[in-house]
């Protein structure tokens, strides 16, 4: 796991976006996995900028999102499909039919989850998966206690996640209590994982994920088993890392090597 500590959110977003851009330029038909939330928002804004100003071409890219709330239609302002359209897809040249977000309105969610896994397989697997981390250390909606061997499925949200996400809704009671989510094992099959983490409120979760034991209680800790995971975080999120000096040294060496 490679940890890059950035001076602020903007630098974090730029460096993470640069990894995505390098892949798309090297492999124009790349399969990208996306996340929602405030952490990757700056990354998406940078990808939009690179598309408009530098000609970054997404015309052959295929995308898969990690998750979606159950019960929210795609045009709901708090649905993850709406988020992705508004913050990325509508501003780049990716064909909408090549973008995939779980269907929160699926009546047969088991069949839909199996189909989602099959679509990823048929696309050749995810080349690069963008991730955030919850304040309790979860990735996607794999809440504490989720199996590290889990696949795409319906999950019920913890009270902490509902509380954390209530800021996006008018009332806490409006937050859906379940979601369709890629599983931990599904995420670990991506060839590269890129996790963006910012803010003091994520510092404890990040330290547990990077330096703590691998445990289903911190599902992001499973990324320690992944052969190519890159973490980009700001100074605030890095404040609880005990190996900070070592991470900085590795980052310096990697930059020097190009």
Alpha carbon of residue 34 to chain centroid: 5
Report pLDDT for 255. Answer: 80
How many CB atoms lie under 10 A from the CB of residue 108? 9
DSSP label at 157? P
CB–CB of 211/243 below 8 Å? yes
Res. 127: pLDDT tops 80: yes
What would the two tokens of residue 233 be? 């975080």
Report pLDDT for 160. Answer: 86
What would the two tokens of residue 18 be? 């640069």
Res. 253: pLDDT tops 90: no
Question: Which of 39-62 are b and which e, b meaning 16 or more Cβ less than 10 Å from the residue's Cβ?
Answer: bbbbbbbbbbebbeeeebebeebb
Active site residue 252: no
Q: Which of 143, 189, 230, 234 is catalytic?
A: 143
The total number of residues shown for the chain amounts to 258
Q: Which of 67, 127, 189, 234 is catalytic?
A: 67
Q: What is the mean pLDDT of residues 6-13?
A: 98
User: Who's near 120: CB < 8 A, 6+ residues apart?
Assistant: 31, 64, 126, 186
pLDDT in tens, 177-208: 999 999 999 999 999 999 999 999 999 999 99
Q: What is the fold, at CATH topology level, of the domain defined by 2-257?
A: Rossmann fold (3.40.50)
pLDDT in tens, 43-84: 999 999 999 999 999 999 999 999 999 999 999 999 999 999
pLDDT in tens, 218-237: 999 999 999 999 999 999 99
Report pLDDT for 102. Answer: 98
Cα 234 from Cα 232, distance rounded (Å): 7
Active site residue 75: no
Calculated CA dihedral for residues 43, 175, 216, 227, nearest 10 degrees: -20
pLDDT in tens, 150-167: 999 999 998 988 988 888
* Local structure of 140: helix, strand or coil: coil
CB–CB of 34/63 below 8 Å? yes
Q: Which of 127, 136, 189, 234 is catalytic?
A: 136
Active site residue 170: no
Q: What is the mean pLDDT of residues 132-151?
A: 96
CB–CB of 63/30 below 8 Å? no
Q: Which of 46, 138, 230, 234 is catalytic?
A: 138
CB–CB of 52/22 below 8 Å? no
Res. 258: pLDDT tops 70: no
Active site residue 174: no
């Amino acid at each position: 796991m490679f940890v890059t500590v950035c001076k602020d959110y903007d630098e974090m977003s730029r460096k993470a976006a640069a990894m995505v851009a390098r892949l798309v330029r090297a492999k124009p038909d790349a399969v990208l996995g996306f996340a929602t939330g405030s952490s990757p928002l700056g990354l998406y804004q940078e990808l939009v900028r690179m598309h408009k100003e530098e000609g970054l071409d997404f015309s052959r890219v295929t995308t898969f999102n990690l998750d979606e709330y159950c019960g929210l239609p795609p045009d709901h302002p708090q649905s993850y499909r709406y988020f992705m359209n508004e913050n990325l897809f509508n501003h780049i040249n990716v064909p909408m039919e090549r973008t995939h977000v779980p269907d929160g309105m699926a009546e047969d969610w088991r069949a839909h989850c199996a189909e989602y896994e099959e679509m990823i397989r048929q696309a050749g697997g995810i080349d690069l998966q963008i991730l955030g981390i919850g304040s309790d250390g979860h990735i996607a909606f794999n809440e504490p206690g989720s199996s590290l061997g889990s696949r795409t499925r319906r999950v019920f949200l913890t009270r902490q996640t509902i509380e954390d996400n209530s800021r996006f809704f008018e009332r806490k009671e409006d937050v859906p209590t379940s979601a369709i989510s890629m599983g931990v094992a599904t995420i670990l099959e991506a060839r590269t994982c890129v996790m963006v983490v910012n803010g003091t409120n994520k510092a404890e979760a990040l330290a547990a994920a990077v330096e703590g034991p691998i445990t289903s209680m911190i599902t992001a800790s499973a990324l320690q088993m992944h052969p190519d995971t890159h973490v980009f975080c700001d100074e605030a999120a890095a404040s609880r890392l005990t190996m900070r000096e070592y991470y900085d040294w590795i980052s310096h060496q990697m930059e020097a090597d190009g």
